[in-house]
């Protein structure tokens, strides 16, 4: 007996195509309320765990009061250029950071300033004393505008120059560190890492406005 297969109908073929088609990636969601959010979205910081959480705009605004005593804190979106702040080679050496790039922020839970610098393992916390940083702040009182936990001073020290100093959102720092983790080669990072750093600082300069001591934000 010869058994003949029945020809596929157009609807059957369509159903098979739908079953076999790769499913689209799940949309990113707010980690506070589970609402869908776009690729470009805001973040809040868990002050205890230091974790960044993706947030929709309404949830973000709930934690935007920087004076309130909250478990979470919204990450601001401002970028400032401290053009007059320079770190010479001696000052940088006193910070005892082994590479020419670092970000520093105030941890309100620990009541101290913490320094991180990039490397092959990601963000490395400086375990060395930072008394020199207190000296820098005393000499540059404009740094008092940095909001604890959510903003950082991003410092780049380049050989033969005073380098650059910018106030940036803390999530931008972690984004840079995450990118460098995949590119870093050897002690100084290698060419790809330095190209990524240059591109990042180009974007930072484009978004930054000069710090105005008379401005509140």
Same domain, 111 and 56: no
Longest dimension (CA), the chain: 97
Residue 123 is assigned to a structural domain of this protein: yes
Q: Find out whether 197 and 205 touch, Cβ atoms under 8 Å.
A: no
Collapse the DSSP code of 45 into the 3-class scheme (helix H, G, I; strand E, B; otherwise coil) and give the result. Answer: strand
Same domain, 168 and 150: yes
What is the structure's pLDDT at 86?
65
What is the structure's pLDDT at 76?
95
What is the structure's pLDDT at 12?
55
Same domain, 71 and 86: no
Helices (H) and strands (E) in the chain, counts: 6, 10
Same domain, 192 and 93: yes
Contacts 24+ apart (CB under 8 A), 58-65: 58/33, 59/30, 59/32, 59/33, 62/32
**Domain ends where: 75, 95, 111?**
75
CA gap 61, 65 in Å, rounded: 8
Residue 71 is assigned to a structural domain of this protein: yes
Same domain, 128 and 68: no
What is the structure's pLDDT at 162?
59
Q: Find out whether 120 and 184 touch, Cβ atoms under 8 Å.
A: yes
Other C-beta atoms lying within 10 Å of the C-beta of residue 47: 18
CA gap 146, 192 in Å, rounded: 30
Cα 140 to Cα 9, 43, 85, 182, distances in angstroms: 76, 29, 7, 35
Same domain, 205 and 159: yes
Residue 14 is assigned to a structural domain of this protein: no
Same domain, 205 and 138: yes
Q: What is the pTM of this model?
A: 0.80
What is the structure's pLDDT at 15?
47
Residue 107 is assigned to a structural domain of this protein: yes
What domain count does the chain have? Answer: 2
Low-confidence ranges of the chain (pLDDT < 70): 1-26, 86-88, 127-129, 159-162, 214-217
What is the structure's pLDDT at 123?
79
Which tokens in the block code for residue 38? 């776009």
Same domain, 133 and 33: no
Residue 65 is assigned to a structural domain of this protein: yes
Same domain, 92 and 181: yes
Tell me the residue range of the domain where 48 lies. Answer: 23-75
């Amino acid at each position: 007996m010869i058994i003949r297969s029945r020809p596929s109908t157009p609807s059957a073929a369509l159903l098979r195509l739908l079953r076999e088609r790769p499913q689209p990636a799940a949309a990113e969601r707010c980690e506070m309320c589970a609402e869908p959010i776009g690729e470009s979205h805001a973040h809040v910081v868990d002050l205890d765990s230091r974790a960044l959480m993706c947030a929709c705009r309404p949830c973000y605004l709930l934690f935007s009061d920087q004076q309130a005593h909250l478990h979470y804190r919204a990450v601001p979106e401002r970028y400032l250029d401290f053009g007059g702040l320079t770190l010479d080679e001696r000052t940088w050496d006193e910070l005892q950071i082994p590479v020419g790039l670092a970000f520093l922020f105030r941890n309100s839970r620990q009541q101290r300033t913490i320094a991180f610098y990039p490397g092959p393992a990601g963000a490395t916390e400086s375990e060395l004393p930072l008394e020199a940083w207190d000296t820098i702040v005393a000499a540059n009182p404009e740094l008092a505008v940095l909001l604890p936990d959510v903003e950082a001073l991003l410092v780049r020290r380049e050989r033969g120059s005073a380098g650059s100093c910018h106030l940036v959102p803390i999530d931008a720092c972690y984004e840079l560190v995450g990118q460098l983790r995949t590119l870093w080669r050897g002690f100084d990072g290698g060419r790809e890492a330095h190209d990524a750093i240059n591109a990042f600082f180009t974007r930072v300069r484009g978004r930054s406005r000069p710090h105005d001591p008379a401005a509140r934000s």
